[in-house]
Structure formats: structure tokens, C-alpha cells
Amino acid sequence: MTTMAGSIDYGERIPNNVDLANDRRLQRALESWQPKFLQWWQAMGPELPHRDVYLRTAVAVGRDGWAHFDRVVLPEYRWGIFLAEREPGRTVGFGAHQGEPVWQQVPGEYRSELRRLIVIQGDTEPASVEQQRHLGMTAPSLYDLRNLFQINVEEGRHLWAMVYLLHAYFGRDGRDEAEALLLRNSGSTDAPRILGAFNEPTADWLAFFMFTYFTDRDGKFQLGTLKESAFDPLSRTCEFMLKEEAHHMFVGTTGVDRVVERTAQLMREHDTDDIRSHGGIPLDIIQRYLNFHFSVSLDLFGGETSSNVAAYFTAGLKGRWQETRRKDDHRLVDSTIAVDSLVDGRPGSIEVPAVTGLNQDLRREYVQDCENGLNRWNRILEEAGIERRLALPHQAFSRHVGAFSAIHATPAGEVLDDAEWERRRDEFLPSRADLDFVSSLMQPVYEPGRIASWVAPPRVGINDHGFEYDYVRFA
């Protein structure tokens, strides 16, 4: 059976728009991976028993076709392989191969670098599902529970996207890597996930909203650079993943909006900053969560100077954010860029060859984008007549990767010695008491139309349904 351009074949065991039926070898390989994926999902995916969930499933990759809504039982979700449509005549947009036709196969000389990029990307997807496994037990409403499950199934699909590339283009090594993606686990001491942020627990719903705002946003930027890749199947996969990613960030943005809104409301109502006894989350705690999730996400961009990123760019494997809109030669042979560095033991910057500074270039774009959330949340505070503001911490604050990992700094960027940092840490990052308090608020609210005390209801529901709709049903 062949598929029409853009449409997805749901008649197959693995829904796809890559004509899997005509590649028996690949189809068999993926069909043998499928039960292992399902086993992993049962063991590591959402643990809340339910009857069905109102979910969005992709039916075609064109402009509108990918958003089909239906009630689904989670393990029966139709995970599949969807690539954006091929752009005829596409050429390499940057690096040493600029202007040459893009590649439909992996060039031998770039095989290991491409595999590494795909494995790192692939590793984050199941990691986030593992991190969010227990959240279904304590959702503040059915609307939020449904959004969690939507994100989880899509992260599962993003894993499928990377596993397809590994199986289709990397032979035996690719199959081994695909297996390994199900064997590493978030937070495991023996076989942890590759990147730091994906081994941190997402212990409560405030952490979940911060994660989907800050860490999913790293996903947006990393996928955006891989979308520029000269390896066309990777580019097309990432383009489609980005469409799904937009909803995840929406959940984060509006999730934090709603927490801040409720906090502001309780502060006004009770005329106090300490709204804990009224069932709300004080702004101090929100700020400390924000500090943590922002700094841990900054680490995901790697070091400020990296020979890896220079090699990726020059080879055409990973571009810059919005590469085609940049007004330069797209080769960067002679240009330089300012990157963060320690200067006399303090946060400062140095000039380096531009190609080696591209992790910082991407991090800069990311930070600018993060500011939008802060503006929104501060507008909510302002409109409620509250003077306090939330802020992004300094980039030297609480870093474990890059130049600033060598020092301790406050959210304002002031350098602290080890002893002072230890003494003041709980001012800046969520303390045990903060985590315990937030955890005490996490009581499930699973009656349609009702919501927990610490968060405001959303302004709109999903796909024209109101907030009161029974987005998740139980047996």
C-alpha cells in the first residue's frame, strides 16, 4: 500500500508516511523494536489507571491534517513515523557543503557524528516520560491530566522518530543504539540518561510547568538547529516534531501563568506574601523553582566553546537557529563571536572563532525567548497590583556545564566562595522545605470542572471544549 504525499497510513501496524510497507527489512526491524517500546511504556510510562483520554493524533503532516482529536486508551495510542514533506531541490544551507544538494543517505565520513546527535536527541524523549511518570497521581484537574498524557505520548513518538532514523540509516550500530535508548533510565545510577537535566526528578506540577517551559524550550532550539541539517531525513523529522513541541511549551507557559495568577489572587485576597496557609504557592518559591529549571536548562547547550559544535556546523550536520534568515556567509570561516568566560575569576566574556562558539549563539537565542515568559508573568503581577517581579537568574548562577561551572554565583551574578554558597543555597534554589510544601499541595482533583487550590483554571479548553469537559475518564 502506498501513501499519498503528507497523509499517514493508519492501516499499518506502525502508522507512517515513509512507505514502510515497501521496505520489508526496515519494517521487520521496527516491528521487532515495537514490543520492546511497549514494554518500556508499561514499565516507565504514566502509571495512573484510566479508561480513556481525549487526545490529539497526527493524521497527515500538512498544515491542518495533523490535529485529529479522539478518546484513546494510552497503550493503544498509534505511535508512528511522520516526516514533514520533502522540499524539492533543497540544498545545504551552511558550512563547507553549502549549495550542494542535501543528502538522502548518511555520508560515511559523518556517520558517527550524526549518530551521536540523533542518539542524544533520542535519549531526552523517553527520559522526560520517565521523569513525569508519577505526575498523573496528583494532577490539579482533568484538563491538566489530559495535557500531561498528550505530552507523554508525543515524547514517546519523538523517540520513534529518532529510532526510525537509527534503524533506517545506521545499520547494526543504529539498531544497537535504538535498544540502548530503552535501557538507560532517568536518574539511574548504573545507566543514567545522557544529559544532566533529564536525570533530575520532576517531582511536582510546579516543576512540570517549569520543565515544559524551560527544558522543552531547549528542545525547540535544538530541534530548530537539526531542522537545518544537510541530512534531509533528520531535517524533515525535526520539522514535524517542532509542530508537536509547540503544544508542550504552551502547557508550560500557561501553566506558570495560572500558578502566578492564583498566587497573585491569594496575595490580594489575604493581603500577605505568605499564602501557604491559604493553599497557594508564594512567589519566593516560584522564583526558586524558576532559578533551578532555567539554570539546569542552560547547561543543556554544552560548553561555550566546543570543537564538537564547530565540526557539526562545518560538516552541515547542525546549523544555527533560523540559519536561512541570518545575513552572513553561512560559513563563518573568519568571523568571531563573544562567549561567556571567567575573566579574573568573575563572569565576563571573550572573543573566539565563531564556529567554536555556536553553543553560546544558540543559548543566547534561547535566553531571549525565555524572557517572553517572564514578561507575561510579570504583567499578571502588575495587573493584580503586586509590586514584586520574577526574574531570570544570571547565567553564571548554579551551572554545571561550561565556563561558569567553576564558580558559585548568586542569581544576581555576584561570586560566592564555597562556604557562603552552602550557607545561602536555600535562598536561591528550592529547599527541602519548599519541595515538601509544594508536595503537600499536590492532591489530585479529578472531578470535571474542579481545580486544585494553588492554580487558576485555564481560559480555554482543548479543541473548543470547555474546562468542565471530562478530558480523562476512569474505569
Give the span between the Cα atoms of 204 and 135, in whole angstroms: 7
Of the candidates 173, 177, 133, the one whose C-alpha atom is nearest the C-alpha of residue 159 is: 177
**Cβ count near 303 (within 10 Å):** 19
Edge-first strand order for the sheet with 472-473 is 68-72, 52-57, 472-473
Tally of residues, the chain:
475
Q: What is the nearest approach in angstroms of ligand BYC to the Cβ of residue 194?
A: 6
Q: Would you say 9 or 130 has its CB closer to ligand BYC?
A: 130
Q: Does residue number 228 form part of the binding site for ligand BYC (CB under 6 A)?
A: no
Q: Would you say 9 or 123 has its CB closer to ligand BYC?
A: 123
Q: What is the nearest approach in angstroms of ligand BYC to the Cβ of residue 101?
A: 24
Among 9, 12, 154, 155, binds ligand BYC (CB under 6 A): 155
Among 401, 415, 429, 445, binds ligand BYC (CB under 6 A): 401
CA distances to 21, 123, 141, 142 from 50, rounded to whole Å, are 33, 27, 14, 11
Q: What is the nearest approach in angstroms of ligand BYC to the Cβ of residue 218?
A: 4
Q: From 116-124, 174-182, 267-275, 339-347, give the range in contact with ligand BYC by CB under 6 A.
A: 116-124
Among 121, 185, 263, 360, binds ligand BYC (CB under 6 A): 121
Q: Which of residues 414-443 bind ligand BYC (CB under 6 A)?
A: none
Q: How far, in whole angstroms, is CA 73 from its chain's centroid?
A: 24
User: Helical H runs in 407-464?
Assistant: 418-428, 432-441
Q: Does residue number 242 form part of the binding site for ligand BYC (CB under 6 A)?
A: no
Q: Would you say 196 or 279 has its CB closer to ligand BYC?
A: 196
Give the strand pairing for 415-416 and 408-409.
Answer: antiparallel
Q: Does residue number 301 form part of the binding site for ligand BYC (CB under 6 A)?
A: yes
Q: Does residue number 98 form part of the binding site for ligand BYC (CB under 6 A)?
A: no
Q: Does residue number 300 form part of the binding site for ligand BYC (CB under 6 A)?
A: yes
Among 303, 319, 411, 458, binds ligand BYC (CB under 6 A): 303
Asked if 452 and 140 count as a contact pair (C-beta separation under 8 A), the reply is yes
Q: What is the nearest approach in angstroms of ligand BYC to the Cβ of residue 80?
A: 18
Q: What is the nearest approach in angstroms of ligand BYC to the Cβ of residue 323?
A: 14
Asked if 206 and 281 count as a contact pair (C-beta separation under 8 A), the reply is yes
Q: What is the nearest approach in angstroms of ligand BYC to the Cβ of residue 312?
A: 7
Q: From 66-74, 84-92, 300-308, 384-392, give the range in contact with ligand BYC by CB under 6 A.
A: 300-308
Q: Would you say 92 or 251 has its CB closer to ligand BYC?
A: 251
Q: What is the nearest approach in angstroms of ligand BYC to the Cβ of residue 197?
A: 6
Of the candidates 199, 214, 222, 52, the one whose C-alpha atom is nearest the C-alpha of residue 126 is: 199
**Cβ count near 270 (within 10 Å):** 13
Q: Does residue number 302 form part of the binding site for ligand BYC (CB under 6 A)?
A: yes
Residues 6+ apart with CB under 8 A from 16: 3, 8, 9, 80, 81, 82
Asked if 224 and 322 count as a contact pair (C-beta separation under 8 A), the reply is yes
Among 46, 136, 140, 219, binds ligand BYC (CB under 6 A): 219
- H-helix or E-strand spanning residue 178: helix 171-183
CA distances to 26, 101, 104, 115 from 107, rounded to whole Å, are 19, 13, 9, 11
Among 117, 163, 207, 251, binds ligand BYC (CB under 6 A): 117
Q: From 40-48, 86-94, 277-285, 296-304, give the range in contact with ligand BYC by CB under 6 A.
A: 296-304
Q: Does residue number 309 form part of the binding site for ligand BYC (CB under 6 A)?
A: yes
Give the span between the Cα atoms of 131 and 154, in whole angstroms: 14
Residues 6+ apart with CB under 8 A from 459: none
Among 132, 186, 306, 360, binds ligand BYC (CB under 6 A): 306
Q: Would you say 117 or 472 has its CB closer to ligand BYC?
A: 117
Q: From 28-36, 180-188, 304-312, 403-411, give the range in contact with ligand BYC by CB under 6 A.
A: 304-312
Q: Would you say 141 or 297 has its CB closer to ligand BYC?
A: 297
Q: 6 is written with which cell numbers?
A: 503528507
Give the span between the Cα atoms of 422 and 238, in whole angstroms: 41
**Cβ count near 230 (within 10 Å):** 27
Angle at 55 between CA 49 and CA 60, to 5 degrees: 140
Q: Does residue number 192 form part of the binding site for ligand BYC (CB under 6 A)?
A: no
Return the residue nearest ligand BYC (CB atom).
302
Q: Would you say 312 or 467 has its CB closer to ligand BYC?
A: 312
Give the span between the Cα atoms of 214 and 397, in whole angstroms: 15
Q: What is the nearest approach in angstroms of ligand BYC to the Cβ of residue 275?
A: 30
Give the span between the Cα atoms of 3 and 141, in whole angstroms: 39
**Cβ count near 222 (within 10 Å):** 21
Q: Does residue number 352 form part of the binding site for ligand BYC (CB under 6 A)?
A: no
Q: Please give the residue ranges that form the binding site for ligand BYC (CB under 6 A).
A: 117, 120-121, 124-125, 128, 155, 195-196, 215-216, 218-219, 222, 299-303, 306, 308-309, 318, 359, 401
